[in-house]
Amino acid sequence: MQCPSCQHTDSRVLESRAADTGRSVRRRRECLNCAFRFTTYERVETVPITVVKRNGSRETFNRAKLLHGLLRACEKTGLEPARLELLVDEIELQLQQRSCREVTSADIGELVLQQLAEMSEVAYVRFASVYRQFQGISDFVAALERLNRRASKGTQLAAIG
């Protein structure tokens, strides 16, 4: 590791600890030449995920874009931004664990909707209205019926178990 002060390449590690909820390692280092102390972060390098859009174009998965969409859908629903960040982390992890490096935007949308259905019905409908491009009231009614069927299945399973 090159020292940011003198560019010497030898340093020693003074302290290591987990950072970013265990997905990276934070290291405090000291340059063996000038004794300058600095911090480095070590992360697992992941292969980028390519998102195939509805129009056939491709772009690199952007977690900030997904988080922004979730924040918009969840405005004034009481869901905390930290919880939405965890949701984005979970979705990104699911995508990284797939063997295929390409995923459709529809797949990502469905993953989000599955999670939102359990978190907030209002956020679910708001996200679905944009993601599924609702054209009228009938689209909203259909989404609400799907949500209602899902809730009744959960109630039936709870009664059985």
pLDDT at residue number 156: 53
Specify whether 78 is located in the same domain as 140. Answer: yes
Specify whether 149 is located in the same domain as 121. Answer: yes
Domain of 122, in residue numbers: 50-160
- Work out how many domains the chain is built from and give that number: 2
| pLDDT tens for the chain, residues 1 to 161 | 899 999 999 999 999 999 877 778 999 999 999 999 999 999 877 788 999 998 999 999 999 999 999 999 888 888 899 899 999 989 988 998 888 889 999 899 999 988 988 888 888 888 888 888 888 998 889 888 888 887 777 655 445 55
Specify whether 77 is located in the same domain as 96. Answer: yes
pLDDT at residue number 27: 95
- Asked if residue 138 belongs to a domain, the reply is yes
- Span between the terminal Cα atoms of the chain, in Å: 56
Are 8 and 34 contacting, i.e. CB atoms less than 8 angstroms apart?
Answer: yes
pLDDT at residue number 154: 60
Specify whether 19 is located in the same domain as 77. Answer: no
- Asked if residue 6 belongs to a domain, the reply is no
pTM: 0.64
Specify whether 63 is located in the same domain as 25. Answer: no
pLDDT at residue number 3: 95
- Asked if residue 25 belongs to a domain, the reply is yes
Specify whether 101 is located in the same domain as 130. Answer: yes
Specify whether 140 is located in the same domain as 121. Answer: yes
Beta bridge pairs of residue 26: 17, 41
Specify whether 152 is located in the same domain as 83. Answer: yes
Specify whether 151 is located in the same domain as 93. Answer: yes
Specify whether 82 is located in the same domain as 132. Answer: yes
> What residue has token string 């090159």?
2
Specify whether 32 is located in the same domain as 77. Answer: no
Helix (H) or strand (E) holding 49: none
Specify whether 31 is located in the same domain as 109. Answer: no
